[in-house]
Chain A
Amino acid sequence: MSDHTATWYNLYDARPHSEVPAESPLAWSYHHSGRPSVSQKSRVVLRERAMAGHLILRGGAIVLDEAVRGVLGFGLPGRPNTLTLDERGERSIQWLSPDEWLLIVPGGEEFALEKRLREALGDAHYAIVNASGGQTLIELTGDKARELLMKSTPYDVHPEAFPVGKGVTTVFAKANLILRRPTEERWELVLRRSFADYLYRWILDAGAEYAIGVEE
């Protein structure tokens, strides 16, 4: 890393390197509202992918795309409201705005990734912000998942309007979230930490008629 990068920006690994108890944004919700168990009747299943690394990338698409390709092996999504994933589907990059992308990687990778990206980007105009503590990702699967989404968001979730590979920031109940569809069967919701409990309670309420279950 060039010297001035360090002087220009404050790089900061927020993740402890010793064993420290951590709580996902849904910790209180599980404690307070519980987790209805998954059963044969469950037509919607919720699973949290907690503690992932979330980075916000800002800058020009061409420059960032080159850096990301070099570091991660796959590039930025080319179109608005789309999403790219690595081969195993563990790492993803989502278009958020013409100069903003959300990078989600397995927990623990984010700081090293940020450093490598900053090295690759050098003097380019860009910004990287770690948002891992501020949001969490949940998955919804099941044949009634789409109907549950229809109860909650005004965005059109019909397969014609929301094909696999799409991702949008939109209204959900009276809050906002990121909604994406990485595979045919799975919807992903990125929740802001402070709204997570409200959204969790909403989803359980809207999902009650589908016997929604929450995986441990």
Chain B
Amino acid sequence: MFHIYCPYCEEHREEEEFHAKGQAHIARPADPEACSDEQWGDYLFFRDNPRGIHHELWVHAVGCRKFFNITRNTVSYEILETYKMGERPRFTAEHPEGKPAETVAAEKVADEADMVERQEGVKA
């Protein structure tokens, strides 16, 4: 029974309120038709199963119904952080103690620019 901090409700809730939705950051290829069968198969079926730090997609199913990500240690089950969709993890296999602050800041700027571009793309 995990105790999970929902980044949208801004408090811890019991695991019963959540559904686990598998590995996080599996982006759908932008142009599926351009993918080979193998590439498409990778996207559909292949997932990591690391020992240690893992990023998972969860949804606060009973609650705000928002999807978000969890960085979890699969050995100790410790949850190192939870973060909203569109954000990047601070704790990764490369940075088990957390990324330096300047890296986090730079990533944030890049992500915001990306989001603006996507929205303009829809309107175009």
Q: Which residue numbers of A lie inside 8 Å of B, CB to CB?
A: 79-81, 96-98, 100, 154-155, 168-171, 176
Are A170 and B17 also in contact (CB < 8 A) when A80-B8, A80-B9, A81-B11 are?
yes
SS of B interface (majority): loop
The interface residues of chain B lying within 8 Å CB-to-CB of A97 are 8, 63-66
Docked complex: B7-46 residues within 8 A CB-CB of A:
8-11, 13-14, 16-17
Cβ-based interface call for B62 (8 A): yes
Query: A81-B9, A168-B9 known; 15 other A-B pairs, CB under 8 Å?
Result: A80-B10, A81-B10, A97-B63, A97-B66, A98-B8, A100-B64, A100-B65, A154-B14, A154-B16, A155-B14, A168-B63, A169-B62, A169-B64, A170-B62, A171-B16
Q: Which residue numbers of B lie inside 8 Å of A, CB to CB?
A: 8-11, 13-14, 16-17, 62-66
The interface residues of chain A lying within 8 Å CB-to-CB of B10 are 79-81
The interface residues of chain B lying within 8 Å CB-to-CB of A154 are 14, 16
CA distance A154 to B14 in the complex (A): 7
CA distance A98 to B11 in the complex (A): 13
Are A98 and B63 also in contact (CB < 8 A) when A80-B9, A81-B11, A171-B17 are?
no
Closest-by-CB residue of A relative to B10 is A80
Instruction: Tell me if A98 and B66 are in contact (CB < 8 A).
Output: yes
Instruction: Tell me if B11 and A80 are in contact (CB < 8 A).
Output: yes
CA distance A80 to B78 in the complex (A): 25
The interface residues of chain A lying within 8 Å CB-to-CB of B64 are 80, 96-98, 100, 169
Q: List 21 A-B residue pairs with CB atoms under 8 Å apart, sorted by A's residue number.
A: A79-B10, A80-B8, A81-B10, A81-B11, A97-B63, A97-B65, A97-B66, A98-B8, A98-B66, A100-B65, A155-B13, A155-B14, A168-B9, A168-B63, A169-B63, A170-B13, A170-B17, A170-B63, A171-B14, A171-B62, A176-B62
